[in-house]
Amino acid sequence: HGDPMTNNPVTVIGLGAMGTALAETLLANDHPVTVWNRSPEKADALVEKGATRADSVAAAVAASELVIACVLDYAALRSVLDPVAEKLRGRVLVNLTTGTPEQARSMASWATEHGIDYVDGAITAIPPMIGLPESLLLYGGSERAFDQWSSTLELFGSAKFFGADPGLPLVYDLALLGLMYEVFSGYLHAVALVTAAGQDAVSLNPLAGGWLNAVLTWLPEFAENTDSGHHPDTGSSLAMQARGMRHMVEARVAAGVNADAPAYMESLMEQAVAEGHGADGTSRLIDIIRKRG
Ligand code: FVH
């Protein structure tokens, strides 16, 4: 080992699927681990593996300088931690509960009021991935606390620190999740269109993979255009694409497939055209998306 933080006690509050995976990983890496969960029986398997079950949240907090919390949501988190706020004073709280960026910032303010060194985190992985380098955890908040405990936090997976804003990890987490779900949605609607034409769903697969790979190569340029404010047409003007979207909407409606997503894209494109940007490329739509709010 040789790491100065190995063997330092860590407390884990919340033993759902994720909190259990976090505690198991700490135990497997020789940290003494104290655990607490609202339903105490969820600690049984961890106790067999060497964890100490705390009888109260206060006892759990008192056991370690580093307290990691991972419960259902921020309301549950506050209900657990409010009564022990003063016991947390001077300790490090790493909160891995998922919520909104605003909830993370307001939790950080609460922690500052109580003299707690606070790091908010977002886990972009599922419980079986915890402990593998492919799992990515995003952190923000107290740099001092993150630096002090980074070798322990890196046991869960790769760690990226975003700086002092405790809301940023959840901003990026939600950005990535939104991207994933809209890709799911696009794929599933494509399957619906193909199967409505009497074809097997799998007939789409040889085409969809190459198509998605090509789409992927265009995206970094959209971000560069957004940062520079220039949105050149690279052969697919918005005026042309708006017409294409109309065909997409009509074809989906005719096939009995929901057309909300292409109708939304069409409306963004039509607005860009109406505002004089019909000759620009796709990335110009960011201006319209921001304006819509
Ligand atoms: N599991 C996943 O795939 C995702 C991956 C990305 C990050 N999320 C977030 O992690 C938080 C915890 O998720 P989880 O998977 O551990 O969730 P559950 O297995 O449902 O366990 C929930 C725990 O929260 C406790 N809890 C709920 N309400 C309260 C409350 N009012 N007071 C105290 N504790 C509460 C619950 O306790 P119990 O029901 O066992 O007594 C569990 O410990 C979450 O933010 C995900 O979005 C996971």
- CA dist., res. 203 & res. 238, Å (int): 30
- CA dist., res. 260 & res. 78, Å (int): 38
Q: Tens digits of per-residue pLDDT, 132-176?
A: 999 999 999 999 999 999 999 999 999 999 999 999 999 999 999
Task: Report CA(71)–ligand 1 centroid distance (Å).
Answer: 4
Task: Report CA(156)–ligand 1 centroid distance (Å).
Answer: 17
The full set of domain ranges for the chain reads 10-170, 200-292
Q: Tens digits of per-residue pLDDT, 21-55?
A: 999 999 999 999 999 999 999 999 999 999 999 99
Question: From atom 9 of ligand 1, which residue's Cα is the shortest distance away?
Answer: 98
Q: Check residue 6 and give its pLDDT.
A: 67
DSSP 4: T
Spans of the chain below 50 pLDDT: 1-2
First to last CA, the chain: 50
Please state the pTM of the whole predicted model: 0.93
Q: Which residues line ligand 1 (CB under 6 A)?
A: 14-19, 37-39, 42, 70-73, 76, 79-80, 97-98, 123, 126-127
Containing 10, the helix (H) or strand (E) segment is strand 10-13
Residue 34: phi, psi to the nearest 5? -105, 135
- CA dist., res. 152 & res. 8, Å (int): 9
Question: From atom 44 of ligand 1, which residue's Cα is the shortest distance away?
Answer: 72
What CATH class is the domain 200-292? mainly alpha
Q: Check residue 1 and give its pLDDT.
A: 42
Task: Report CA(17)–ligand 1 centroid distance (Å).
Answer: 7
The CATH number of 10-170 is 3.40.50.720
- CA dist., res. 160 & res. 146, Å (int): 10
Q: What angle do CA 86, 88, 91 make, to 5 degrees?
A: 140
DSSP assignment of 12-49 equals EE--SHHHHHHHHHHHHTT--EEEE-SSGGGGHHHHHT
